[in-house]
Amino acid sequence: MLKYVLVKRIPQIILVMFLALTLSFYLVRAIPGDPIEVMLGESPATPEMREHLRKVLGLDRPIHEQYLIYIQRLLSGDWGKSIFMGIPVRELIFSRFINTLLLATCSMILSIMIGIPLGVIAALKRESIIDHIIRGVTLFGYSIPVFWWGLILIYVFSVNLKLLPSIGFGTPQHLILPSITVATLVSASIARITRISMLEVLNQDYVIAGKAKGLSQYILLRDYILRNAIIPVVTIVGLNFGTLLTGSVVTETIFAYPGIGKLMVDAMYMRDYPIVTSGIFFLALMFSLVNLLVDILYTYLDPRVKLERSISV
Amino acid sequence: MRIKIKIPRLLIDLLKECKKDPVLTFSIVFLGVVLIFAIIPEIIAPYPYAYIDLNKRLLPPSLEHIFGTDGLGRDIFSRIVYGARYEIFIILLATLIGMPIGLILGFISGYFGGSFDRVISLITDVQLSFPPFILMMIIVLLLGPSLINAIIAVSIYLVPIYVRLVRGQVLVEREKLYIEAAIAVGSSSWRILVKHILPNTSGPLVVQTILNSSSAILNVAALSFLGFGAQPPTPEWGTMMMEGRPYFMTAPHAILFPGLMIFLLVFSLNTIGERLREIVDPMLKI
């Protein structure tokens, strides 16, 4: 399997990264408007001044030349400098990414704590009223528009009850509302996959055999059912975590949370090219690596799965 | 083994399910209400959607204005009724753009395999590696913020989902004897797609289309909410929420009702999609 990862997956990730980087470089620069316009706006700057700024930022060169310079620097570890903040992009991205990682981890812990028990209970009580209620709640969870849900939580808990801070960052309390907002969606998808996976395992012969041989409900659940049913859940948790790492743009915007999603959106408004291009590169890399890890973990947890096969179909 | 599923048959099965499933009944009724709103808003809405009355700004819900009024004194319920048209438009256009592209690419990829498959898979991989919302924002900024461009952005985001579904289905169907027979009697690839593979994958495709529609509604609304979609004074529900946001602390109803409508519409589409999925693939229900 190691050979498969080294020979097939890693080169593929490098190719995808290169294409994503190139595409984002050209797409972002094709957006109408440039940083000079944003910076100077309607100010009475002379054309000479504009030209000068362009030269300083290296925007006067042909775009393909800019691209080559950018790639060269990126390979040597220089991700460029933010046009507006003057800070090296790598530092900026890393410091914001830590915040996103924090939010993603909190949301994921919360989602697992809610989602897995709900899924297990629904499956054990299948077709009962409890099952129907849990499935209804699950559908609610992933139909909710996050921007609406986030605002409602702010209104109820910060404006009305004055229990929690609404926006910003710094104390653990600031993490609660954004985490709940994100976890509502993620726990629903975890609960759903847990339920389906449990039902599949419950129908297996070895579970029926275990029951026939008189094992207690607890042992049966712990050693026979959960152990096998949890495998697809791990995959979904991993994939969701990968998505969360790329920043919940909407949630971060609503709560003015200084994560990587908010950084990217702000940079896009300002046409801060280095942040957007390097940011997309970084996020795409994170996403691909998490996916690779999930695939490897999957074969490790379930030795019946051959990595080569599970991916090619 | 896959049984041939025809779309009308699917709908009859769905309606039969309603008897024992109140949530599904609610979803179908709600979808019907939104459709009626979209068809005859002039009859249902008590006020014109653009009627501004600055003396009646931000009124809370009352008998006169059941959902209250917004920052310009417009009746929110009337705007929601007219806005239904835009939501239906989003569903139709996103499906019309995303599905054919995904269908054709997925078919080529799965049926011909080889280098076609590799190129198309590479393109989908690159696209999926982009953070989805950032990708949609870049596309909207490239084309200019408007409702149509937001729908185009969301449709592009949805294409890989269709491609993967169709490709998987084609890979399964391709190995079957009836396709071999069709090739043997000299059917063209186009004929095999339209006459053989499409009817046999219609079930999962219908399900995915409904689930993608709900995703389109959510994403277009989110783009509009951030100012990247329909522009004011369009009564699109996401745009209404954007307009209500400045008054949100004092007049939450200006955001509550449009958001609730988006939520219920998405919920209805998801419920219908899920139930259809269970009919198409009974293994899921067990």
Nearest CA in chain B to A166: B249
Q: What are the structure tokens assigned to B77, written together?
A: 């319920």
ipTM above 0.90, yes or no: no
Q: Could you tell me how many CB contacts below 8 A there are between chain A and chain B?
A: 116
Among the residue ranges A143-147, A190-194, B55-59, B129-133, the one predicted with the least confidence is B55-59
Min mean pLDDT across A92-96, A122-126, B11-15, B80-84 is at B11-15
Query: Predicted confidence band at B168 (pLDDT cuts at 50, 70, 90)?
Result: confident
pLDDT digits (tens, 9 = 90+) for A148-181: 999 999 999 888 887 777 777 777 778 889 999 9
Please identify among residues 9-38 of chain B the ones whose CB lies closer than 8 Å to any CB of chain A.
23
The per-residue pLDDT for A54 is 78
pLDDT tens, position by position, A295-306: 888 878 777 765
Distances (CA, A) of B216 to A20, A90, A291, B93, B180: 23, 34, 24, 10, 37
Average pLDDT estimate for B135-152: 93
Does the beta-carbon distance from A143 to B134 stay under 8 Å?
no
Q: Tell whether A7 is within 8 A of chain B (Cβ).
A: no
Q: What number is the average pLDDT over the span B235-254? A: 89
Residue A226's pLDDT band, with cuts at 50, 70 and 90, is confident
A283 part of contact set with chain B, CB < 8 Å: yes
pLDDT for A306 equals 58
Q: Is A199 on the interface with B (CB under 8 A)?
A: yes
The whole-angstrom distance between B64's CA and the closest CA on chain A is 25
B263 interface with A at CB cutoff 8 Å: yes
pLDDT score for B163: 92
Amino acid B156: pLDDT: 94
Beta bridge pairs of residue B69: B75
DSSP A158-183: IIIS--S--S--SSTHHHHHHHHHHH
Give me the long-range contacts of A199-208 (CB less than 8 A, separation at least 24): A199/A123, A199/A126, A199/B286, A200/A229, A200/B286, A201/A225, A201/A228, A201/A229, A202/A123, A203/B286, A204/A228
Assign A81 to helix, strand or coil: strand
Residue with more model confidence, B271 or B196:
B271
- DSSP letters for A185-224: HHHHHHHHHHHHHHHHHHTSHHHHHHHHTT--HHHIIIII
A264 reaches B (C-beta below 8 A): yes
Averaged pLDDT score across all residues of chain B = 87
pLDDT, tens only, A23-69: 989 988 888 877 877 777 766 667 777 778 777 777 778 888 888 88
Please count the other Cβ atoms lying within 10 Å of the Cβ belonging to residue B55: 6
Q: pLDDT value at position A83?
A: 82
- CA angle at residue B257 from B221 to B25, to 5 degrees? 85
- Helices A273-301, A10-30: axis angle to 10 degrees equals 150
Is residue A232 within 8 angstroms of chain B, CB to CB?
Answer: no
| A290 within 8 A of A298, measured Cβ to Cβ | no
pLDDT the model gives residue A294: 86
User: Closest Cα partner for B27 from B35, A109, A256?
Assistant: B35
More confident residue, A218 or B5: A218
Within 10 angstroms of residue A251's Cβ, the number of other Cβ atoms is 25
Higher pLDDT, A117 or A75: A117
Which chain A residue has its CA at the smallest distance from B213's CA?
A143
Backbone angles phi, psi at B49, to 5 degrees: -70, -20
User: What are the tokens at B272?
Assistant: 């219908």
Contacts of A256 (CB under 8 A, 6+ apart): A167, A168, A169, A262
Give me A253's structure tokens: 């915007």
Q: In percent, how much of chain B has pLDDT > 70?
A: 96
Q: Does A30 touch chain B (CB under 8 A)?
A: yes
* Per-residue pLDDT, B160: 92
Q: Is the pLDDT of residue A210 over 50?
A: yes
- Tell me the C-alpha distance between A168 and A153, whole Å: 15
For residue A122, give the nearest of A143, A144, A142, A137 by alpha carbon: A137
Of B95, B116, B56, whose CA–CA distance to B269 is shortest? B95
Evaluate whether A84 touches A156 at the Cβ level (below 8 Å): no
Q: Please tell me the predicted confidence (pLDDT) of residue B4.
A: 52
Of the spans A186-195, A203-212, B42-51, which averages the highest pLDDT? A186-195
Q: What pLDDT, on the 0 to 100 scale, is given for residue B6?
A: 64
Question: Which region holds residue B25: left if phi is over 0, alpha if psi is between -120 and 50, else beta?
Answer: alpha
> Is the Cβ pair A151, B248 closer than 8 Å?
yes
Structure-block tokens of residue A210: 């275990």
Percent of chain B surpassing pLDDT 90: 41
How far apart CA B78 and CA B70 sit, in angstroms, is: 11
Residues of B in contact with A265 (CB under 8 A): 134, 137, 226
CB B120 within 8 A of CB B190: no
Residue B146, classified by CB atoms within 10 Å of its CB into exposed (0-12), middle (13-18) or buried (19+), is middle
CA distance B21 to B10: 16
